[in-house]
Structure formats: structure tokens, C-alpha cells
Structure 1
Amino acid sequence: MSSNSSEANLSSPKEKKSGFDFFQFLYKYGTIITIVVLIIVFSVANPSFLSVNNLINILRSISIVTIIAIGLTISLSVNGFDLSIGSVASLANAVVISMFVWHSQSTVVAIAVALLCALLVGLLNAFLIVKVRIPDMLLTLATMFVIQGVALTYTRSATISENMIMPDGSYSTGTISEIFGKIGQVPFIIIIMFAIVILVHIFLTYTKHGRYMYVIGGNQEAARLSGIPVNKYKILAYLLSALFAAIGGIVLASRVMTAEINAGGNYLMDAVAAAFIGLSVLGAGKPNAFGTFVGAVLIGILANGLVMMSVPYYAMDIVKGTVFALALALTYYKMK
């Protein structure tokens, strides 16, 4: 009897492995399948969709979303959630342009000041979440409005650009450096995006610090009992989240060469969508840089294709929301 039972135990795993799990397949490849379907549909509708220029345009268009979403991905890795990334991007966008236009600073100084301001926001978020223990979603929702208000106050609710009219009636004399203007152009904007995705992927996947973050995100108490400094890594996560949001805002500033009112706020929901869609890419089941990039690609392809098909702007959100829901349904529905 014991031999029969042992044979049954040995054979049962093989039986499970030999069967094809259709829903597990969709969970792993649902997002990629959606991307392929969209490419086919848009290519049939407009053959120029697959042109090299258009593909480069898609990569350029998703660069800022991807960079900002990578920061959110890091906060998600410790089971956090940073809703202030859009406002931080707006603040960095305003500060870096103002350093040029209002204060005639160099490129290094302008970027450094913008990054410093963002890191202060990240430090504030981390302190209130880790030490005061305010729930992260509620806290970052509050700081989102606060930082948005700070950015509007700093810019006097006006667009910052070269030769703008100052409050005293004079014109600004500062100019934006040519070197800074190169950051937001092809191929540099795409190179920056890929570099960030690769670096964060290596950090989260192959370093002990990234693995510690995943352990904290999986079970914070178990991580604490294992000797992992949980608070230290949560603080690091929110600092990196703010840092990448600021980089996104700086790249946006270089791309348009002005600081628009609440410019980064438009990227919040797309960044959130990219990060959450990417959770299950290739069956990862956790926040990851590669999955976030794939989620951003889905968003970029969808937006670009809808424009090429001349879909009215007021109907785009309906189509985008439907496709996002389909992608999430394909990737998250699994048989129990």
C-alpha cells in the first residue's frame, strides 16, 4: 500500500505539469497578446503604422511615462503606492526651467536643484509613511495636492518660457542651454528611457537590495524578523520614486522647452496603468521594470494607433479604458 501511495504522489505532479493551462498562459502572455493584436489591427487600418519613423515616435512618446512609472514600480515593490509622482514631475519641470529662465543658471545647477526638490518631497513622503504611519495611498494623495499647489504658487500659475513677461513688467533674460535641449530629443530621450529600465531591472532582480524590497513587499513582518531593515528600504523606495518622477519632469521640460501648468499631472494615470499592467507580464506576479516598460508600450501603441485612425479625442478615453480592462482581464484571470 505504501508503494502504491508513493507512486501516486510521484505521478500526480507530472500529470499537472503535462496539462496545458490556458488561463495560466493568458496570465503570462495576455499583455503581449494584446499588443500583438493592436499592432495587427492598426497596421491593417494604416500601413504606415509599422514605419520606422512611427515606431520611433511611439518610443519617444512613451519615454516620459515609462520613466515616471519606473519610480512607481519601485514603490510598489515594497507594497507601497506613490500617487504624488505626477505632481513631483510638475514641480521638477517648473524648477528646472525657472533655473534657466529666471535665474540664468547652468545646466548642471538647474538639474541638480530640480532633483533636490524632488528628493525633499520623497523624504517627506517616506517620513510620514514610515514614522508617522499614515497609509501610503492617503498620504501621497494629500502630498499630490500640496505639491501641485506649491508648483502653481512657484510659477504664479503661469507657463515659464524664454522671454516671458515678469511680474514687474520686464522680460526674462535667461535662456535654456542647447545641451539641456538635447535631452528631450531623439535618440537621447529613448536612450535615457532604456538605460533607466535596464538599471532598475538589474537593481530589483539581481541585487540584494532589490530582493530585500521584494521580500518587504511580500511580507513586511517576515522581512523584519529576518533582519532586513524594513524602514530603511521603504524610505529608499520613496526617494527613488520621487527621483524618477523628477527625471521624467526634467526630460519633459527638455522636450517642450517650457514649463506648463501641472505638466506632469497628465502622466499620472498612464504611469499607474503601465505599472499595474506590467505586474503579470511573463508571469512575474510582482512589480518589475521590464513589465512596466511593456505596459507603457501598450499605452503608446494604443494612443498612437487611435490618432492615426482619426478617432475623436473625446472617444479615446473610452477605447483606452476598454483595452486596458481587457489587458488586465487577460493577465489577472486565473483558474483557482
Structure 2
Amino acid sequence: MSPVTENAHGETPRHTDVVKDVVRRGAVFILLALLVVGFSWTQPAFANINNLMSILQAVSVVAIIGTGVTVTLAIGGFDLSVGAVAASAVMAASYAMIVLGLNAYQTVPVVLAFGALVGLVNAFLIVRLQVPDLLATLSMMFLLMGLQLIPTAGRSISVGLILPDGSTASGSYDPMFLMIGRSSLFGLVPLAVVLMLLTAVTLYILTERTRLGRLLYATGGNELATRLAGANTARIKTFAYVLSGVLAALGGVIVAARVGRGDVSSGASLLMDSVAASLIGFAVLGLRRPNVLGTVIGAVFVGVLLNGLTMLNAPYYTQDFIKGAVLVGALALTYGVSRAKS
């Protein structure tokens, strides 16, 4: 047999290109399938439907917040305040019911409006005052981390809360509100998972199938050219940050409804986990760009990994290292194969 040679353009053989393309586009799915098979083999209870639903419920908040981060990445920005917005939303929802005595139908719109307001302030700093997005949203993160502690003097919020003036809050959590985080559709699919899927489908259609979605990516790719083409890039960027704020607040609502308590440390890991999901999403289908589908898959990937390791009694202190290793590996595989192909 004659040796394999390159063609006139220096290209590698066709079957090698196909293999590289499959690896590049399906790396995350291949790794996810291997994780599921491996964990199911070593721990049969992993594949139980209740455990799988538990994984999806656990990652639903991260996926929802991550899709908001994805939209800001699409415009060439980055929202570092989402974790603080979610944590503040947890506290705000709890305060509204426990202290102010509001019901679920009043609390949820108020909290979502709070998220939109934060996004609007971020957009004002970035679009109007030309503050770099990382600096603006980082400043907002610190502001919210301090602000959420002031109304209760740093205490978590629960029934019977002692207020700073010495009085006792008389409100309680609305059962309708708690259903958001604790109820299931048909007794099987948690409502939080349904909200995650609705959010993902809506944003996928918005970003991938509409003119607005094309403008979001165009703004991130070349803002000047997009503006010269007639698009209002200021409004597009404002929309992205407001949407990110609303989705972060929605994540906070789900957390508050799940735990039934306004915990001051509730948003500790939400920022890093949502950012990790968004960045792993770059590797999904080899798109090498922020995308909603990839973010949700990234969140599920991390959730499967951590759940499986927990069931295998892996030390808790190794989880952040493992998440970082997975992120580095997924991105290196995607970009490395793509570079080799080019």
C-alpha cells in the first residue's frame, strides 16, 4: 500500500478531518455520556430517575443564571454581578413575605423588577458612562453584597425574625411561593426544571432564530460595524444586561422557594458555577462562542459530575478543582482540535 500523503493544499486525509470534526463538535456530549455510563456502573443508584431529576433540579438555577451570562457574553460583555443579584433576590423575596407580609403574586414581580433595575444600572454604567463591563458589574456585585445585609443587620431571614429595632416580624412564606421550588409536574419533573427548560427554549429561539439574536452576536463581534449598519447598539446592550439581571433574580426566587429561608450566604457559588456553565458551553458542538444550548449542557455536565462524585464519597473539597479541570479540558479540547484542523 502506498503511504498516506497530503493533497496539493496541504490538507490531511478526509477521514482524519471527519474524526477531528466529530471530536470537536461532540466532545462534551461524549464526555457526558462516559460520565453517565461510568457512574451508573460503579453506583447503580445514580441512574435512578429520581436521582436524575434531582440533578436537573440542582442545576436549574445555575443554568437559568448562566443563560443570562451567555447573553452578555454574546454582546462582548460580562456580567459579574449575577451571583450577588441572585443572593439579593433571595433576601428580597424573604423580606417581602416575612417582614412586609406580601404574597407570592406580589413578591415575584417585585423581585424580578429588582433584577431588571440592577441590570438597568449596569447598562447605564457601561453604555452611558463607558465604564468597562468588568469594573461596572464587579462594583455592583460588591454593592449588592453589602446592601442585602443592611435591612436585617446581617441576619438571615426566617419566620420570627428579630428586626434591628427589636420587633419581631409577623409574616410567613406564602405556600404558593414555596411551590416554585418544591413542587413537581405530574409528581416527577420539578417545577424548577420546567422553568429552566422554558427559559432555555425561549432564549435559544431569541438568540439563534431572530433578528435580535443576530444583532446581539453582531454587537459582540463588531460593535462599530453593527452601529454603522443602523442598529441601536446601546439599546441592544441595555437589553442584554437587563435580561441578565431578571434571570439572576429568577434564580434567586427559585432558591428562596426551595430553602424557605433568606440565607445571607445563598449566592456564594452561583457566580462561578454559572460562569463555568457558560464557558463550557463554548465547547458544545464546537461553536466556540457563547450559546444558550451549550450553557444548559454545561450546567448539566457539571451537575452530573458533582452528583456522581458525591455518590462515590469523593471529598467535598476537591469539587472546585474538578470543575476547573473539566472547564480547562473541555475548552482545550475544543480549541486545540480546531486549531489543529485549521
TM-score range, shorter chain: over 0.9
Distance 1:210 1:183 in 2: 29
Post-superposition offset of 1:283: 2.5
Q: Which runs of 5+ in 1 are unaligned?
A: 1-10
Q: State the alpha-carbon separation in 2 of the partners of residues 320 and 275 from structure 1.
A: 13
| 8 A Cα contact 1:90 1:249, kept in partner | yes
1:253 matched to 2:249: no
* 8 Å contact kept, 1:115–1:246: yes
Helix, strand or coil at the partner of 1:265? coil
Name the counterpart of 2:4: none
Give the distance between the partners of 1:204 and 1:316, measured in 2 at CA.
Answer: 32
Partner of 1:310, secondary structure, is coil
Q: Deviations over 1:220-242 (max 9, x none)?
A: 11111111111110000000010
Residues in 2 aligned to 1:210 and 1:52: alpha-carbon distance in whole angstroms = 35
Residue 167 (structure 1) shift: 2.8
Residue among 16, 23, 26 paired with 1:20: 16
1:324 aligns with 2:324: no
**Do 2:274 and 2:299's aligned partners in 1 also have CA atoms closer than 8 Å?**
yes
CA distance in 1, matches of 2:218, 2:16: 30
What 5-or-longer segments of structure 2 have no aligned partner? 1-6, 185-189
Deviates more, 1:261-270 or 1:244-253: 261-270
Amino acid corresponding to residue 287 of structure 1 in structure 2: P
Q: Is the 1:31–1:330 Cα contact (8 Å) retained in structure 2?
A: no
The residue correspondences of 1:268-279 to structure 2 (distance < 5 A) are 268-279=271-282
Which has the larger displacement, 75-84 or 28-37? 28-37
Matches within 5 A, 1:59-74: 59-74=56-71
Q: Give 1:205's aligned amino acid.
A: E
Alignment of 1:103-122 (within 5 A): 103-122=100-119
- Matched to 2:235, the amino acid is K
Aligned residue runs from structure 1 range 177-188, under 5 A: 177-185=174-182, 186=184, 187-188=190-191
Is residue 231 of structure 1 aligned with residue 234 of structure 2? yes
Question: What's the CA shift for 1:324?
Answer: 2.4
Is residue 227–residue 233 contact of structure 2 (8 Å, CA) maintained in 1? yes
Structure 1 stretches of 4+ moved >3 Å: 15-20
Q: Distance in 1 between matches of 2:292 and 2:8?
A: 36
Counterpart amino acid of residue 177 in structure 2: F
Q: Relative to total residues, which structure has the larger helix share, 1 or 2? A: 1
For residues 180-217 of structure 1, give each alpha carbon's deviation from its aligned partner in whole angstroms, at most 9, with x where no partner exists: 11101232111101000000001111111111111111
Mapping for residues 181-200 of structure 1, pairs under 5 Å: 181-185=178-182, 186=184, 187-200=190-203
Q: Which of 300, 303, 309 in structure 1 is aligned with 2:303? A: 300
Select between 161-170 and 281-290 the one with higher mean Cα deviation: 161-170
Deviation at 1:275, TM superposition (A): 0.4
Where do residues 108-257 of structure 1 align in structure 2 (5 Å cutoff)? 108-185=105-182, 186=184, 187-257=190-260
Which amino acid letter does the alignment assign opposite residue 333 of structure 2?
L
Compared with structure 1, are the counterparts of its residues 168 and 225 closer, same or farther at alpha carbon in structure 2 (3 Å cutoff)? closer
Q: Is the 8 A contact 1:29 1:331 kept in 2?
A: no
> C-alpha offsets along residues 290-322 of structure 1, whole Å, 9 cap, x if unaligned?
110000011100110111010111122222322
Alpha-carbon displacement from aligned partner over 1:24-77 (angstroms, at most 9, x marks no partner): 332211111221121122122211111111101100000010011011011111
Structure 2 counterpart of 1:55? 52
Q: In structure 1, what is the Cα distance between the partners aligned to 2:169 and 2:197?
A: 36
Pairwise CA distance, 1:23? 3.6
Q: Select which of 255, 280, 290 maps to 1:287.
A: 290
Q: Which stretch shifts more, 76-85 or 151-160?
A: 151-160
Are the counterparts in 1 of residues 75 and 240 from structure 2 also a CA contact under 8 Å? yes
Amino acid across the alignment from 2:298: G
1:37 counterpart = 2:40? no
Kindly provide the amino acid, as one letter, of the partner of residue 237 in structure 1.
Answer: A
Greater displacement, 203-212 / 36-45: 36-45
Q: Is the 8 A contact 1:101 1:173 kept in 2?
A: yes
1:105 is matched by which residue type in structure 2? Answer: L
Distance 1:41 1:113, change over 3 A: same
On the 8 A contact 2:153/2:164 being kept in 1, the answer is: no
* Counterpart secondary structure, 2:150: helix
> Aligned residue for 1:6?
none
Give the drift of 1:110. 1.1
The Cα shift of 1:20 comes to 3.3
Tell me the TM-score normalized by structure 1.
Answer: 0.92
Superposed, 1:74-85 pairs within 5 Å as: 74-85=71-82
Give 1:134 deviation, angstroms. Answer: 1.1
Partners in 2 of 1:308 and 1:234 — Cα distance?
42
For the Cα contact (< 8 Å) 2:85–2:245, is it kept in 1? Answer: yes
RMSD: 1.8
Amino acid at match of 1:315: T
1:86 aligns with 2:89: no
